[in-house]
Structure 1
Amino acid sequence: MSNQFGWNSSTAGLVQSSFFWGYALSQLPGGWLAKRFGGRKVLEIGVLTWSFATALVPLLAGFMPGLVFTRILVGIGEGVSPSAATDLIARSIPLQERSRAVAFVFGGLSVGSVAGLILAPALIQHYGWESVFYLFGLFGIAWFVGFQTMVEQEASYAEPAANSSNHQEEKSQGSSLAELDESVKDVPWRAIFKSPAVWAMIYAHFCGSWGHYTCLSWLPTYFSEALNLNLTEAAWVSILPPLASVFVTNLAAQLADKLIASGVETTTVRKFCQTVGFLAPALCMIPSAVDLGLPPWEVVGILTAGLALSSFALSGLYCTHQDISPEYASILLGITSTSGAVPGIVGVALTGYLLDTTHSWTISLFAPSIFFYLTGTIVWLVFASSKPQNFSS
């Protein structure tokens, strides 16, 4: 698209960052909606929204306001989904199995990245870049239909008593719009924002997202321009970090749950996992930041290892919301994810701007990520906690 429409790095960064405008705006509302109506309903609507908006991209790509709008809409749909998934996990999964549940659900992000990066180059080569948006949008719509069918079948097999209970719950959840304002007021916002542990999660989410989103958006360009890999090689190399993350995520989750089950304090486990998730990518970015002159494939291997180990965060930060308050887990994730979406807006666009002005990958991409990984580690070790907190008291 960038080649076809003649975009420079700043414009490409703007287009990529517009997704995060919607993503940031929908995080906190998504958490509240998941608590109010249940994660299942919110997840359904979120997937349908982002899938439909994805399919619209080729139709509006030549009209910048329309393109930016579709990306914002994709961001809104995806933004409500993590809180919806967190609500489902918090309500149904015990502490000793929570790391594996979070890893299984959110590990799907890495699986999807791998699948997308494998499919996209071939689709673009044979059918044009438009085919990627049409096909992936269709996949999401198909998921929505399949999920609806599964829910209906589950309801039909439920016993009458259970159906009656579920009906009453749904009725109470959606009884009247007049109750919505009251349910917002019922959230103990002041108690939540007075907690040092919550602020540690907010900053950690910001720091982790800075490294993740800027690398997600700009590493393929780095591989192509700085390491002189061709487009096909860069696409295949971009698969390696999320592919490695699939394996690391499961190993980290197994380790975390085993440590908790053996009696290790939950806070200690979460701090250990998050520290690995921050320090590993920071250390592995240093060779690229100082330009040691390593062969391209060694650079790729080191970056892949660091970004894969960042998946330890799924057994650190991403479990802490449920640890400290299953009742308000979706709200907490909405709060921290709002902070985590800011780097997608600022960081992705700023990286493109700095790249245009300095022509330095160190200044534009690696140095800021290393800074946030290191400061995030310090804040997490000092203030993070997984001890249950009763915000309502």
Structure 2
Amino acid sequence: MTVKKIWPTSGNVNVDSAAAPKDDNEVVAKGACCMGFGIRHFQAFLIFLGLSVAYSLRVNLSVAIVAMTDKDAANPDFDEFSWNEKTKSLLLSSFFWGYICTQVPGGALARKFGGKTTLLCGVLICSILAILTPIFAKIGDWQLVCALRVAQGLCQGMIFPSTHTLLSHWSPLEDRANFATYCYSGSQFGTVVMMATSGVIASSALGWPSIFYLSGGIGVVWAIVWFIWGASTPAQSKLISPEEKKFIEQSIGVEAGDEHHAPTRTPWVKMFTTPAFLVLILTHCTNNWGFWTLLTEIPTYMKNVFGMDIKSNALLSALPYFAMFLMCFVFSGISSIMNRKQCIPLSVSRKLFNSIGHWIPVASLIALGYVSAEGATIAIVLLTVTVGVNAAPYLGFQVNHIDLSPNFAGILMGITNCAANIMSIIAPLIVGFIVTDEHDPNQWRIIFFIAAGFYFVGNLLFIIFGSTDVQSWNDPQPKPSPEKRNSTQLESQH
């Protein structure tokens, strides 16, 4: 029995034979420890819960605002606010004003202070602000709530870059895409739970303020748990065994002590002159255009074209997110089987799953544009399919940042997510320019064709120019030896 059979490695990692187990029993023990459930899986579970909390905090106002402005939709014993549609739209969009601003700084802060710290701060502060929301609404009306939502966006702007930074340290190369899928599926889980339970909570004796108290309180509890058991890297974890730590570090190509010699300067110029990264930005932007066009405009489309108010139906509202949550595990299972059998290269796997998540929505969106006014059920099915298969890109472009540069994965995610969320704001505005008659299915067909076009072009560029090769600017520059530094200083003096 050889060590290589127990410790799978990437192509550029050499197994340290000196550290190998001395007998077969020790090999089996280490193999069982490393290949089974380990602390890395526990970390992924904690991140999953963190993202679930983050998204429940993100959408809590979206679901609570109905009860806050209509006593008939909730417990009438609590305050009601006379906010018009313009004010409500302003409140719901204000989160993204702050969210966009801290994407890139969030990645830089995660590299400097560790993903544990930035994720902790982002979720904890956002949770405290959520608890304060009912009080702010009472004393400062919509203006103070708007300021609070901007602040929450600033906090959450660090969450995705922090998550990518954590994944770059904790996920073995062989399971990188699966780890990312498990963690990011928390965003759908948090959305589903919040949307499915908000109506019941608002109608209960606790009223609509409890939506913010519960989501914020759970966020504080998660922050305490994460502070105790979370870790930025395997080397900083007090729970991990030496065998599992070595397994992870060898898989991702980290030598002992390497994390103390990570590059301190961010190679901005090299990043923005790398075709694979530029394409990654475009792919992320096109994905968000299509995804957010659906999530923001489909309720209006269903109500005006089919006469179906899915906003008032919690189950229908949560159905697409629930489908996406389930499909995360379906695609992850398929990916695991493919990895075990080693049937396709990594680059092909990334592009395959990305194509599933982009080109199936192309077909479903085009079909949605031709559904007749009597086909509400067909429209819901197509919508659910379109959003559901959007889980596949978690194993595609969503993890490609770590492929290109594990050292700068958080910053890369911050850059692409910032650009992509600008598209999330622009896409609904374009709908307002094109759809002048919300009851006209022909105008909505144009919107679906535009979204389908973005999906198609974005994935085509990713297939042609995307890469999974670690870029040369990822690695730290070797530090000169003391003798060389002294020699250089002497030469400069002469």
- The normalised TM-score by structure 1 is 0.85
Bigger CA drift: 14-23 or 190-199?
A: 14-23
Partner of 1:43: 119
- Which consecutive unaligned segments of at least 5 residues does structure 1 have? 163-168, 174-181
User: Structure 1 340/150 Cα, relative in aligned 2: closer, same or farther at 3 Å?
Assistant: same
User: Do the aligned residues in 1 keep the contact of 2:110 with 2:410 (CA within 8 Å)?
Assistant: yes
Q: Distance in 1 between matches of 2:427 and 2:214?
A: 29
1:358-373 correspondence runs (5 A): 358-359=437-438, 362=444, 366-373=448-455
Bigger CA drift: 205-214 or 92-101?
A: 205-214
Query: Whose RCO is larger (CA < 8 A, sep 6+)?
Result: 1
User: Do the aligned residues in 2 keep the contact of 1:278 with 1:377 (CA within 8 Å)?
Assistant: yes
Q: Pairwise CA RMSD of aligned residues?
A: 3.0
1:176-255 correspondence runs (5 A): 183=264, 186-230=265-309, 234-255=313-334
Whether 1:326 and 2:406 are equivalent positions in the alignment is yes
User: Do the aligned residues in 1 keep the contact of 2:311 with 2:317 (CA within 8 Å)?
Assistant: no
User: Do the aligned residues in 1 keep the contact of 2:275 with 2:465 (CA within 8 Å)?
Assistant: yes
1:1-393 correspondence runs (5 A): 1=65, 3=69, 4-8=81-85, 10-61=86-137, 63-126=141-204, 127-151=206-230, 183=264, 186-230=265-309, 234-261=313-340, 262-351=342-431, 353-354=432-433, 357-359=436-438, 362=444, 366-392=448-474
User: Structure 1 363/322 Cα, relative in aligned 2: closer, same or farther at 3 Å?
Assistant: same
Query: Which residue type is aligned with residue 300 of structure 1?
Result: I
Q: Distance in 2 between matches of 1:53 and 1:372?
A: 36
Bigger CA drift: 291-300 or 190-199?
A: 291-300
User: Structure 1 224/138 Cα, relative in aligned 2: closer, same or farther at 3 Å?
Assistant: farther
User: Structure 1 129/349 Cα, relative in aligned 2: closer, same or farther at 3 Å?
Assistant: farther
Query: Which residue type is aligned with residue 266 of structure 1?
Result: L
User: Structure 1 147/392 Cα, relative in aligned 2: closer, same or farther at 3 Å?
Assistant: closer
Structure 2 counterpart SS, 1:63: helix
Q: Distance in 2 between matches of 1:248 and 1:391?
A: 35
User: Structure 1 332/292 Cα, relative in aligned 2: closer, same or farther at 3 Å?
Assistant: same
Query: Which residue type is aligned with residue 253 of structure 1?
Result: S
Q: Distance in 2 between matches of 1:17 and 1:157?
A: 41
- The normalised TM-score by structure 2 is 0.68
User: Do the aligned residues in 1 keep the contact of 2:106 with 2:162 (CA within 8 Å)?
Assistant: yes
User: Do the aligned residues in 1 keep the contact of 2:96 with 2:153 (CA within 8 Å)?
Assistant: yes
User: Do the aligned residues in 1 keep the contact of 2:127 with 2:215 (CA within 8 Å)?
Assistant: yes
Partner of 1:166: none
Shift of 1:93: 1.3
Partner of 2:250: none
Bigger CA drift: 56-65 or 79-88?
A: 56-65
Q: Distance in 1 between matches of 2:427 and 2:412?
A: 23
User: Structure 1 280/16 Cα, relative in aligned 2: closer, same or farther at 3 Å?
Assistant: farther
Structure 2 counterpart SS, 1:255: helix
State percent identity of aligned pairs: 25
Q: Distance in 1 between matches of 2:472 and 2:323?
A: 38
Structure 2 counterpart SS, 1:327: helix
User: Structure 1 292/357 Cα, relative in aligned 2: closer, same or farther at 3 Å?
Assistant: closer
Q: Distance in 2 between matches of 1:370 and 1:378?
A: 12
Q: Distance in 1 between matches of 2:423 and 2:365?
A: 18
Structure 2 counterpart SS, 1:290: coil
Structure 1 counterpart SS, 2:469: coil
User: Do the aligned residues in 2 keep the contact of 1:31 with 1:334 (CA within 8 Å)?
Assistant: yes
User: Do the aligned residues in 1 keep the contact of 2:301 with 2:444 (CA within 8 Å)?
Assistant: no
Partner of 1:165: none
User: Do the aligned residues in 1 keep the contact of 2:368 with 2:382 (CA within 8 Å)?
Assistant: no
User: Structure 1 56/284 Cα, relative in aligned 2: closer, same or farther at 3 Å?
Assistant: farther
Shift of 1:7: 2.2
User: Do the aligned residues in 2 keep the contact of 1:16 with 1:217 (CA within 8 Å)?
Assistant: no
